[in-house]
Amino acid sequence: MDVYNLTTVTQFILIGLSDLPEVRYPLFVAFVIIYQITLLGNGAILLAIVTERKLQTPMYYLLANLSLLDIFCPSATVPKMLKNLLTEDHSISFVGCALQLYFLVALAGTEVFLLAVMAYDRYVAICFPLRYSLIMTKVRCVQLLFGTWAAGFLNSFLHTMSTFSLSFCNSNRVNQYYCDIPPVVALSCSSTYMTEMLVLVVGGIFGVGAFLITLISYIYIVSTILKIQSVEGKRKAFSTCASHLLVVFLFYGTTIFTYIRPSSSQHSPARDRLISMLYGVITPMLNPIIYSLRNTEVKGALRKVFHLRMCSQKP
């Protein structure tokens, strides 16, 4: 039930697909399959990097962190969404909502920064191949990774504290499957000006800054590749960054589709929420598929891992 007037909100109701009950069970099956593929795919990438010595380089340490994020990010929302699809209880406590929003924003922000670091790594590898091992040392890689995780979680802490310091005394129905900043802020009965400004200024500086690093890195990468004389040299150079470029397009494309696209007048809000969630859970599933199909070293390591596993199971 909604909470009105002067009653303090102690829990929120995640609307989900309450107005499309006929698709609850098919959606449950679809999301369970997608979630399992996401866990298995990213888990396999992590296992390959840990067990294959030639993959223990800065480039693959960054990829391992991307796989971790692709496991953690859907894990912050999908289990609760699956429970809501099967039960009539769509409530989440005030603290539970704050924690879900904190980890979701932190992990998404960390991925934005990590993609920028991965773009910088490819920029150094292609534009300065002879100096790559001197620039991207393991110590430098650890420092960059620590910075991305710290920035992501600090950014989320600021937004979470700002969002949940608001007063919630009207409706408690969150117009989404999970607690996110825009639908939660929309429920506040106090001024949201400072919270919205914080999202625009801090989020804009971090987000635009990371995007510009990624964009500028790839401008230099493409410029360098075009200067290579041989076709084989261009192909080899492009193959080292093609997987990451696809992941960048996928991440920013789905983010723009989810948060910036206008609401459709031809579909119900529930269908719009369904599209947003489908794109939100499909991206982490596709990332390991992209890397395993496009990267020969990862494919070789995965084959070796599965071969050893099959041999160990033989009597």
Of the listed ranges 9-13, 273-277, 285-289, the least confidently predicted one is 273-277
Within 52-93, residue ranges assigned H as helices are 58-75, 78-86
CA distances from residue 202 to 33, 155, 209, 235 in whole angstroms, order as listed: 36, 8, 10, 39
Q: How far apart are CA 19 and CA 16, in angstroms?
A: 8
Contact call for residues 64 and 49 (beta carbons, < 8 A): yes
Average pLDDT over residues 223-250: 84
* pLDDT beyond 90 at 253: no
Question: Domain 11-260+277-313 belongs to what topology?
Answer: Rhopdopsin 7-helix transmembrane proteins (1.20.1070)
SS (H, E, C) 32-54: HHHHHHHHHHHHHHHHHHHHCHH
Per-residue pLDDT at 278: 64
* pLDDT beyond 60 at 7: no
138 CB-near residues (< 8 Å, 6+ apart): 58, 61
24-75 per-position pLDDT tens digit: 888 889 889 999 999 999 998 998 888 888 888 999 999 999 999 999 999 9
Per-residue pLDDT at 302: 76
Nearest CA-CA partner of 287 in 23, 9, 69: 69
Contact call for residues 70 and 40 (beta carbons, < 8 A): no
Per-residue pLDDT at 3: 42
Per-residue pLDDT at 265: 46
Q: Domain segments of the chain: what residues?
A: 11-260+277-313
Pairing relationship of beta strands 11-14 and 91-93 according to DSSP bridges: antiparallel
Tell me the helix, strand and coil percentages in the chain, rounded to 5.
75, 5, 20
Buried-state track 173-200, b at ≥16 Cβ within 10 A, e below 16: bbbbbbbbbebbbebbeeebeebeebbe
177 — pLDDT class (breaks 50, 70, 90):
confident
Please tell me which of 110-124, 186-200, 238-252 the model is most confident about, judged by mean pLDDT.
110-124
Nearest CA-CA partner of 221 in 250, 241, 235, 244: 241
Average pLDDT over residues 228-237: 82
Q: What is the largest CA-CA distance in the chain?
A: 72
- Local structure of 268: helix, strand or coil: coil
Per-residue pLDDT at 18: 59
Please tell me which of 107-116, 192-201, 288-297, 304-313 the model is most confident about, judged by mean pLDDT.
107-116
